[in-house]
Amino acid sequence: MTVLLCSQILGFIAKGSYGPILKVRDVFKDKMFAVKVLAKSEILKHGVVEQSKEEVIIQRQLKHPFIHNLQDSWQTQRHLFIMCDYCSLGDLHTYWLLKGQFGEDEVRLFAAELGSALGFLHDLGIMHRDVKMENILLSDRGHLRLSDFGLSLRLKRGGRAFTICGTIQYMAPEVLGGGPYNHAADWWSLGVMLFSLVTGEFPVPAEPDHSTMLNKVKDFHYVLPKTCSSALILLLTELLCKNPANRLRNLECFKMQPFFRGSSFDSLILQKTPVDVILQLRAHPDWAAKARRGLSLDYFNSFDCDKILHSPTNPTELGSESLRMTHQTPTLSEAQKRELHESALRIVSPGKGILAADESVGSMAKRLAQVGVENTEENRRQYRQILFSADDRINGCIGGVIFFHETLYQHSDNGVPFVKMIRDRGIMVGIKHGIVPIIEPEILPDGDHDLKRSQYITEKVLAAVYKAMSDHHVYLEGTLLKPNMVTAGHSCSTKYSPEEVAMATLTCLTSHCGQSEEEASVHLNAINNCPLPKPWVLTFSFGRALQASALRAWRGHKENEKVATEQFIKRAEANSLACQGKYTGGDNYGDVGQRSYGSCYAY
């Protein structure tokens, strides 16, 4: 069922990360719903496809009186839609802005309802990871509904998370530090929220970055008003314990707090408890202005969501402002040029290349599926740890590592950040982020085209790319070219020798994904032995062609980690020799079964 065909869209509720949240009326049931619209272009661009799927999967499991329940989900060509109950009273943050401080009786009810919701989630192995007032919606009678599961994570018993995510003022110290952390972090966030509700201010003012915020949180000594009861002070002290092992972190202990003595956690009784303060504030003359928060609440009789949200393809649809040329980047200074050039040369110094460890969550799902490993954050972290924990033999083979956003915040089992592990070896980190621009045109290997056709297309692509680079005044000496090797299509009946591949590749200055590890090394070696002039240092930037044997050796088993690391080192050393023209080759060149090619590959 496409709900939009039998519903009337009345207007905007809020602006989400990847699209609007709409107020919708079911014309048959005469009932209101909230529909979260996710533009596929945005979730693809930000690499959150799996996260968006996970949000729906998690919400389908949740039926609880104090959780914002999912009613339906569907998709069109350009959008994903998540439909939930409509909460007409808005969010708790709006009422906090109006009220400033709530009384202990009101906070007690809020705490019982939200604590019940968290206990329910944690029993299912789900961390919310973004508990805050803005994500607490209010039912028509003023009771809480925990919402927005976009950052939620299913965590197995004893599991740990490492991603820094959430809202900075609500993050537990262990989250700000990059983990490891577990469900206890949600209880810290609850403590921050209860502290703010009762005092009218956050325990610690927000800072612009995680490290500064972490230092502040470590040193903070919160002071509660003298009017607060000792029972409330005890509750907040145990929730805001900086050591998660000693923190109040489960519902049963939460219920036993003196603050709740004489109170019931029965959901039916809680829902019958009047929340007069919310209903009174709803009638406040400033409520509409606070709830609006700068968003249009105009109503519409009809609203074509796909038409409104899609990117215009016809230039006439664009305003005159959009037709202007983009502002050119100021010319680099000589010092900046020198720094870029030196960084580029350092990365590709003799015998060194690049480890492309930047595969997105979706791409990693494909890699892990090949060896029967579930695509979880912890499994991705463990696999990357195998690569980054290689011994000093790797130092002479790898000059730079391309990091994925998730990887920048991950740690080893010993708590050492991956970034530090790489940087301490003298290897450059995150080279896609402000150090050396990478130019990365690629030609997919699908089809039966021969080597000559592949070379022709590659030359055309490179010509267009470098024309664009020149038009935008890119300093080419400070860039890395990261294209394909020129190889025939995977359905081509003719098989070409490494020397032929090398000749075609050097003519185009390109490189190709989809070969086996051994083919990539042999071809790279042939390229560096080819008699043609070499305008640049020709080394490697391999992802799958540097990691495939390590992945096969690991297969998600802890006991295989050492063997997998050895496989990675072995392949890195082979490519180090190949980019010097010294690699003699292995026994499995041309083994189709070992190729990393995937039909119609998409990033």
Known catalytic residue at 359: no
Burial of 225 by CB count in 10 Å (0-12 exposed, 13-18 middle, 19+ buried)?
Answer: exposed
Sign of the dihedral through C-alpha 582, 588, 590, 596: negative
Whole-angstrom Cα distance, residue 579 to residue 483?
16
Known catalytic residue at 442: no
DSSP bridge pairs for 181: 161
CA angle (280 as vertex; 276, 284 as ends), nearest 5: 165
Q: Give the H or E element holding residue 279.
A: helix 276-282
Q: Which of 378, 440, 442, 500 is catalytic?
A: 440
Which residues have CB under 8 Å from 544's CB, separation 6+?
Answer: 367, 513, 596
Whole-angstrom Cα distance, residue 48 to residue 53?
9
3-state class (DSSP) for residue 495: coil
Cβ–Cβ < 8 Å for 171, 185: yes
**Closest residue by Cα to residue 414 from 110, 76, 178:** 178
Residue 282 tokens read as 């709803």
Cβ–Cβ < 8 Å for 358, 404: yes
Whole-angstrom Cα distance, residue 59 to residue 83?
11
DSSP bridge pairs for 144: 138
The DSSP secondary structure of 168-223, one letter per residue, reads GGG--HHHHTT--B-THHHHHHHHHHHHHHHHSS-SS---SSHHHHHHHHHH----
DSSP bridge pairs for 508: none
By annotation, the residues acting in catalysis are 440, 482
